[in-house]
Chains A and B, each alone.
Chain A
Amino acid sequence: MSFYKKHFLDLKTLTEAEINYVINSAQKMKYILLSKSASQPLYLKGKTVATLFDEESSRSKLSYELAALNLGAKVIHLHTDKHFKKGESLKDIGRYIDQIGADFIVIRHEVSGSPHHLSKYVKASIINAGDGMNENPSQSLIDLMTIQDQKKNFKDLKVVIIGDVMHNRVAKSNIWALKKLGSQVAVVAPPTLLPYGIESTGVEIHTSVADAIIDADVIMTLRMSDKNEYNRLIPSINEYKKLYKLDVQRLSYAKEDAIVMHPGPINRGIEISSEVIDGESSLISKQQVNGVAIRMALFHLLNKKGGGHNIVG
């Protein structure tokens, strides 16, 4: 088994074996990172990574950048907001980055499918760092790696995802991947915050946290974004807290060794109580090294296929 792809666009089109392969590769990277050995493998020496982000995001950009630097690549940045305001198309920006010789383009864009679109026009390898409401596949791999660290394997795990699945792209990637990996996945949210037909992915749907969480091994809470888009979907944040906030009492229905995760940034006291965040089930803010390891693994694996300009098409 190997991972032989040019682009990394989503998890829904990867196989179980491919997902496992990336995670295992990241485990090796993590070992290298933690050993702090002086001789890190410079797999990306001579390569250039361009980041193309149109939304404010410092954290994941930082982790991509560090991953690339760790592997010996050069890193360049482009803030796309200005270009889009001037009316330049993504296709043209992508071609420009291609022309100046970037081997990888890491893109975050507010339109679903934009990395797929860009991949049709460039020679560089595209890494999707989040597209619209579609997916954030590498962020999801971080979650998966954390689950693997804690639970050893995915088969027969019960994973409960609480909150705004509709707008959350990490949650979508997690659902696609966990179903492939053999986990039992339940989502719990007001029906207005669930995407249409999500049950077709094989997830269970609940509206009551207490019902959903019984015997859970893993609980993921999702950020309620601070945008005003909830006005028409739920009556108030107050009511949401009342019905869906993960607190100690609700957590008590889960298995004793259940773990709690959150993709961040966290609204303390809204989707999750401070007590849970800082409690012993919580892995929040404790697994950030996995983020760098996953991204190193992705760069390395895509580079094997050629990493940009070495191959055509």
Chain B
Amino acid sequence: MSDKLLIKNGIIVTSNKTIYNQSILIEDKKIIQMDTGIEDDEAVVIDATDCYIVPGLIDLHCNIQDPGFDYKETMLTVGQSAINGGFTTLTINPNTVPRIDNKAIVEYIISKAKNECPVQVVPYGNLTRNGEGKVMSEIGEMQLAGIAAVSDGDHAIQDTDLMRNLCNYCSMFDIPVIAHCENRLISNGNEINEGAISTYLGIQGAPITAETIHLARNILLANEFGTKLHITHVSTAQSVEMIRQFKKQGFKLTCETSPQYFTLNEEAAMGYNTLVKVNPPLRTAADVEAIIKGLRDGIIDTISSDHCPDTIDSKEVEYTLASFGISSLETAFSLSYTYLVEQGHLNMEQLIDKMSHKPAQILTLNKGTIQVGSTADLTIFNPNEDYYIDASKFKSKARYSPYDGLVIKGRVKYTLVNGKLYRTDG
């Protein structure tokens, strides 16, 4: 059997072009030919008629949970989950045990991922030792060992003096500081948006200013030293507006949001629905609109999965005791396609820009495009096929979802990771 692979008659979409009726020939993990009507008797043939062929998706925000919490997810299951959802490159939030806060752990994570995970995993390093927000970790050492960004995950650094020093220090590296924005003095645990629903349910809410105060702080501090800054999971209209103004004034920053912030609003928490408990919390319908507008206007640069698997037991408890997060690798792309492209907010090129090309740029990875000579990381999906989300069939260990049962479009049919073909639709 030949190791050649021929993908026939698809529509190639990258961040800046769409080419119809294209075939791609892959040999030895690389794309060796792109043209109309390629024939090759030796190659395994995939019929991609009516399907889009896009660069493999790259996730800037993913809680892999392994090492440390392998009962929630493992390198293997997260990889299978990624493939099912069309992602070929993941990043690992450093909220593992041990935390990724020194070069030995970075090396361990890279080798563990290589051995156990079917997709590529790019590690993030902790900004501070043990992610405690107190003492800087050895960021330079970790960068040499291969981290692509620094972040303390969902632990926003509360000490502004330390954050300023970190921005100053990180300005000498070409890796972004990834910041979750939450002022914990006022966020009340960030469990639910402060608003009509929190009052209705009798739970103390997180005001939007818990996000936007830190957002402004982080942008100003990064700008002071020219540090590369990436804001993770933007959730409020005010955040979008502030980023718009900052960008207009020439501040350098990028930001991302995740599907829950443009598909669900705070009302989804009615009945103490723990499945939609996420950090930051779901906001109002007006915020959802503003997030979509931000995506459309290019103010929000990327869409990440914000995959955060946990056990079902951690969700079947009282709301304030429940874990945060959604198991979302397997739904992120289809939801984005259904809610953004189908609804006419983005075109396909813009969606691919936000889910593959821009993420690669932000992490300075040589990915996110389709061209002859590049590694065959590809996602093939059928834009016309309806399917319903069945969380019980997830490859992730966290087989629950607030979207369970929802009918959506944009089913991923095949994922190619480094030239290796996976069929994903059954």
Binding site for B on A (CB under 8 A): 12, 89-91, 109, 111-114, 116-117, 131-135, 169, 172, 195-198, 200-201
Contact = CB atoms under 8 A, between A and B. Distances in A.
Given A116-B271, A117-B272, A196-B194, A12 B200 contact: yes
B242 interface: no
24 contacts: A89-B316, A89-B317, A90-B317, A90-B318, A111-B318, A112-B202, A112-B320, A113-B201, A113-B319, A114-B318, A116-B272, A117-B317, A117-B318, A169-B202, A172-B202, A195-B198, A195-B199, A196-B205, A196-B207, A197-B195, A197-B196, A198-B199, A200-B196, A201-B199
| Centre residue among A113, A172, A200 by max chain B CB count within 10 A | A113
* A interface secondary structure, majority: mixed
Given A131-B202, A132-B203, A132-B320, 14 more contacts: A12-B200, A89-B316, A90-B317, A91-B317, A111-B320, A112-B320, A113-B319, A114-B318, A195-B199, A196-B196, A196-B199, A196-B205, A200-B196, A201-B199
Contacts of A201: 199
Interface of B: 194-196, 198-205, 207, 271-272, 313, 316-321
| Centre residue among B204, B271, B272, B316 by max chain A CB count within 10 A | B272
Contacts of A109: 318
Contacts of B198: 195-196
B323 to A, nearest CB: 13
A197 B202 contact: no
| Centre residue among B198, B199, B203 by max chain A CB count within 10 A | B199
Contacts of A90: 317-318
B272 A133 contact: no
A169 B272 CA distance: 17
B409 to A, nearest CB: 32
A134 B203 contact: yes
A89 B319 CA distance: 13
B263 to A, nearest CB: 23
A185 to B, nearest CB: 15
B86 to A, nearest CB: 34
A313 to B, nearest CB: 16
Nearest to B272: A113
B316 A197 contact: no
| Centre residue among B195, B318, B319 by max chain A CB count within 10 A | B318
A197 B317 CA distance: 27
Nearest to B274: A117
* B interface secondary structure, majority: loop
A15 B207 CA distance: 31
B317 A132 contact: no
Contacts of B271: 116
A135 to B, nearest CB: 6
A113 B205 contact: no
B127 to A, nearest CB: 28
A290 to B, nearest CB: 24
Contacts of B313: 89
Contacts of B204: 133
Contacts of A12: 200
Given A197-B195, A197-B196, A113 B202 contact: yes
B199 A197 contact: yes
A135 B202 contact: yes
A131 B201 CA distance: 10
Contacts of A132: 202-203, 320
A161 B388 CA distance: 49
A135 B205 CA distance: 16
Contacts of B317: 89-91, 117
A76 to B, nearest CB: 23
Contact of A200 (B199, B203, B205, B320): B199
Contacts of B272: 112-113, 116-117
A248 B200 CA distance: 34
A111 B321 contact: yes
B239 to A, nearest CB: 19
Contacts of A197: 195-196, 199
Contact of A113 (B194, B195, B203): B203
Given A111-B321, A196-B194, A91 B316 contact: yes
Given A116-B271, A117-B272, A197-B196, A134 B202 contact: yes
Query: 5 nearest interchain CB pairs?
Result: A134-B202, A113-B272, A112-B202, A111-B318, A195-B199
B283 to A, nearest CB: 13
A82 B201 CA distance: 27
Contacts of A134: 201-203
Contacts of A196: 194-196, 198-199, 205, 207
Contacts of A111: 318-321
Contacts of A113: 201-203, 272, 318-320
Contact of A117 (B196, B199, B205, B319): B319
A96 to B, nearest CB: 16
A133 to B, nearest CB: 5
A114 B201 CA distance: 11
A153 to B, nearest CB: 27
